[in-house]
Amino acid sequence: MTLSPSSVLIDQWAPSRAATRDVLSVVGFALLTALLAQLRIDLPYSPVPITGQTFAVLLAGAVLGMRRGFASQATYLALGAMGAPVFAGGLGGPMVLAGPTAGYLCSFPVAAGLLGWLVERGASRSTAKLALSLFASDLLILVSGTVWLALLFGQPARVVLQWGVVPFIVSNVVKVAAVGLTLPRLLKNSRAD
């Protein structure tokens, strides 16, 4: 089976049951994000923990494409806003979406959608394009989170960069690399089917 220029990995699985596949994949990636949110490292010098969420966000966009990637993360946020304990530390409720992590969280649907849009346009066919696409989506999350921290706490740029960017550089490079190394292999295996 070959990939058309606009297809993404999820389109290769269960093509005859597209509606069911789409619903299950959106909900599945929302739940994966919730699960990886529980992988949490609290930092004594930042109000924002390191979590596995970014990995799930990037994977959702890369595997599901723009619309479904966006929908998966919007579903995740909706579940959390309704009180489901899906955010880091088992938290839920609308107050989390007004706290220190709100800027990061609210950018998840857009970041997944952006990456999905880029993958739909062929970014996954080139290692360099995929790497740039992953970093662009990850950068969107970091910028949104840092801007929100600046607005919320009214601290100078130096402080919010120390809180919102510096602690995440290494872990985000690892997450970007993990998605970047995983997706081409999945695509290659899908093409071989």
How many whole angstroms separate alpha carbon 87 and alpha carbon 96? 8
Tell me how far apart the alpha carbons of residues 54 and 138 are, in angstroms, rounded to a whole number. Answer: 7
| Per-residue pLDDT tens over the stretch 141-156 | 999 999 999 999 999 9
Smallest Cα–Cα separation from 179: which of 122, 121, 120, 119? 119
**Domains of the chain, CATH where assigned:** 9-192 (1.10.1760.20)
Is it the case that residue 3 has pLDDT exceeding 70? Answer: no
Question: Which is higher by pLDDT, 5 or 91?
Answer: 91
Q: How many residues are present in the chain?
A: 193
**Averaged pLDDT of the chain:** 89
Q: What is the mean pLDDT of residues 118-129?
A: 86
Q: Which two tokens stand for residue 106?
A: 């609210």
Full-prediction pTM beyond 0.85? yes
Of the candidates 174, 94, 80, 105, the residue with the CA atom closest to the CA atom of residue 134: 174
Q: Which pLDDT does position 1 carry in this prediction?
A: 35
- Which of these, 145, 175, 160, 171, lies nearest to 45 by C-alpha position? 160
Predicted confidence (pLDDT) per residue in 32-85, tens digit: 999 999 999 999 999 999 999 999 999 999 999 999 999 999 999 999 999 999
Q: Is the pLDDT of residue 177 over 90?
A: no
pLDDT, greater one: 24 or 186: 24
* pLDDT value of residue 6: 46
